[in-house]
Chain A
Amino acid sequence: MHPDDGVLQALLDDELNGRAAMAARDHLASCIDCRSRLDALRADDALVTASLPALDHSPVSTISASAIVARGGRARTPVRWAAVVALLLLAAGAAYALPGSPLRHWIAALVQGRPKQRSAAGIAIEPGTRFRIVFTPPPAHSSVTIALTAGSMIEARRIAGTARFTAGLDDLVIEPGAAPGGGGKAGGDFAIDLPRTAPWVEVVVGDRRIFLKDGGQISTAARPDSLGRYILPLY
């Protein structure tokens, strides 16, 4: 009887016990079909092994074991937490009362719901029910690659360098800024990943809509490439 793919895969992964491995090898010695299946599995292994490192990012700063020990060893009793909260409230009250305290402005900004605005390489944001992404001002000599993904967040990135991302509840404004080495001209390429499940998302350049995802319907001037991505000029 021919071993199934699971047995052959386990043989490749050195996961068969001695007896099962010997039986599989004996069979392979006399079965061309199974040898060719094993070769195919080996080729799949090689492709996966060679491909996955392309996904790796440089490790961001991480905590050491000793720091975790220090953090994990801290007592977190309700009494201690209550004391910490009370102390923070006292300090905040005192800071708010001080004449010219910046705390007043910060609180005012929070109450008014001022959107986050930061220069960054990109931003990830939940799409909500209707979402608008605006490039302003229209960047020269730039393009955006829009891909539909299985993720749950909209991710907008500048491929090289940073841009200013201003996120509101239902919109995202991208100000491209100067491209690296671009002599001060606003440019450079962008990538936007849209969740396939996002109900409604439009991408606008200035006041011109260049892309709309309405449920499963896509409206845009470009055709998708072989990977299903839309590459659109931004000027």
Chain B
Amino acid sequence: MTPFHDRFVELYDMHFARVRRFLDRLSGDPALAADIAQDAFVRLYRRGSSPDEPAAWLITVALNLLRNSKSTAARRHRLLSTARAEATLADSARGPDELAESADLRRRVRAALERVPERDRQLLLLRSEGYRYHELAAALSLNPASVGVLLARAKRTFRAAYEGTEVDAS
């Protein structure tokens, strides 16, 4: 085992689940999210040493991989898993009304999120995973001093979209 091995396992335990969830929420595609999270950690392992800001490094790599995946011909079409189809049948204990309500809620949240500009959306989703401001700034190349105001704006835009009202661009 290399000296980096233990550190890698520690980083995996600390970050894998939230990187995957962030990508899932961002892309709406759990299989793609899992693929990209795995690829990001494979790259971390091959790097052979821990970056100065591992959280930011992993997010930057994952976002680059996600961007590339959108333009990869191999992904021209993908069969979606049952989970992607709103995870409806997976939970047989839930009745049709509850399933429909859950699907509606997901669509409503997704629609609201898509109205938030891309960088603000990433910021919102990363913050919801507990990333600190300095990590957000490093991952998204932002001025750390502007993270608070961008987050406040992103949340306001989300609320306006969720409630079905437009935010004044000014």
What is the interface of chain A, defined by CB distance below 8 A to chain B? 4-10, 13, 15, 41, 43-45, 47-49, 51-52, 54-63, 65-66, 68-69, 71-73, 116, 118, 120-126, 145, 147, 149-153, 155, 157-162, 165, 167, 180, 191, 226-229
- Counting chain A CB atoms within 10 Å of each CB, the highest count among B21, B106, B152 belongs to B152
Instruction: Please tell me if the beta carbons of A72 and B20 are within 8 angstroms of each other in the complex.
Output: no
Contact residue range for chain B? Answer: 35 or more
B112 to chain A, nearest CB (A): 7
Instruction: Please tell me if the beta carbons of B108 and A227 are within 8 angstroms of each other in the complex.
Output: yes
Instruction: Please tell me if the beta carbons of B152 and A8 are within 8 angstroms of each other in the complex.
Output: yes
Instruction: Please tell me if the beta carbons of A58 and B90 are within 8 angstroms of each other in the complex.
Output: yes
Instruction: Please tell me if the beta carbons of B124 and A180 are within 8 angstroms of each other in the complex.
Output: no
Q: Known contacts A69-B45, A160-B89; decide if A57 and B83 are in contact (CB<8 Å).
A: yes
Residue of B nearest to A43 (CB): B159
Instruction: Please tell me if the beta carbons of B148 and A6 are within 8 angstroms of each other in the complex.
Output: yes
Q: List 25 A-B contacts (CB under 8 A).
A: A6-B146, A6-B148, A7-B148, A8-B148, A15-B132, A15-B133, A41-B152, A48-B124, A52-B125, A55-B106, A57-B30, A57-B83, A59-B20, A61-B34, A62-B34, A63-B38, A65-B9, A68-B45, A69-B45, A120-B80, A121-B82, A123-B77, A157-B80, A158-B85, A160-B88
In the assembled complex, which residues on chain B have CB atoms less than 8 Å from the CB atom of A41? 152, 155
Compute how far the CA of A191 lies from the CA of B164 in the bound complex, rounded to whole angstroms: 21
Which B3-27 residues have a C-beta within 8 angstroms of A? 5, 8-9, 12-13, 16, 20-21, 24-25
B98 to chain A, nearest CB (A): 12
Residue of B nearest to A50 (CB): B109
Instruction: Please tell me if the beta carbons of B30 and A58 are within 8 angstroms of each other in the complex.
Output: yes
In the assembled complex, which residues on chain B have CB atoms less than 8 Å from the CB atom of A56? 21, 24-25
Which B59-115 residues have a C-beta within 8 angstroms of A? 70, 76-90, 99, 102-103, 105-114
Residue B57 lies at the interface, judged by CB distance under 8 Å to chain A = no
- Counting chain A CB atoms within 10 Å of each CB, the highest count among B86, B149, B155 belongs to B155
Residue of A nearest to B121 (CB): A150
In the assembled complex, which residues on chain A have CB atoms less than 8 Å from the CB atom of B162? 47, 51
In the assembled complex, which residues on chain B have CB atoms less than 8 Å from the CB atom of A13? 127, 133, 148, 151
Instruction: Please tell me if the beta carbons of A55 and B164 are within 8 angstroms of each other in the complex.
Output: no
Instruction: Please tell me if the beta carbons of B133 and A68 are within 8 angstroms of each other in the complex.
Output: no
B45 to chain A, nearest CB (A): 3
Q: Known contacts A120-B79, A147-B111; decide if A48 and B41 are in contact (CB<8 Å).
A: no
Q: A68-B8, A68-B12, A125-B78 are in contact. List 16 more A-B contacts (CB 8 A).
A: A5-B152, A15-B147, A51-B158, A51-B162, A55-B109, A56-B21, A61-B34, A63-B41, A69-B9, A123-B80, A124-B29, A124-B77, A155-B80, A191-B86, A227-B111, A227-B164
Residue of A nearest to B90 (CB): A58
Residue B128 lies at the interface, judged by CB distance under 8 Å to chain A = yes
B136 to chain A, nearest CB (A): 10
Instruction: Please tell me if the beta carbons of A65 and B133 are within 8 angstroms of each other in the complex.
Output: no
Compute how far the CA of A52 lies from the CA of B125 in the bound complex, rounded to whole angstroms: 8
Instruction: Please tell me if the beta carbons of A52 and B164 are within 8 angstroms of each other in the complex.
Output: no
Residue B28 lies at the interface, judged by CB distance under 8 Å to chain A = yes
Instruction: Please tell me if the beta carbons of B46 and A55 are within 8 angstroms of each other in the complex.
Output: no
In the assembled complex, which residues on chain A have CB atoms less than 8 Å from the CB atom of B89? 160-161, 180
In the assembled complex, which residues on chain B have CB atoms less than 8 Å from the CB atom of A150? 114
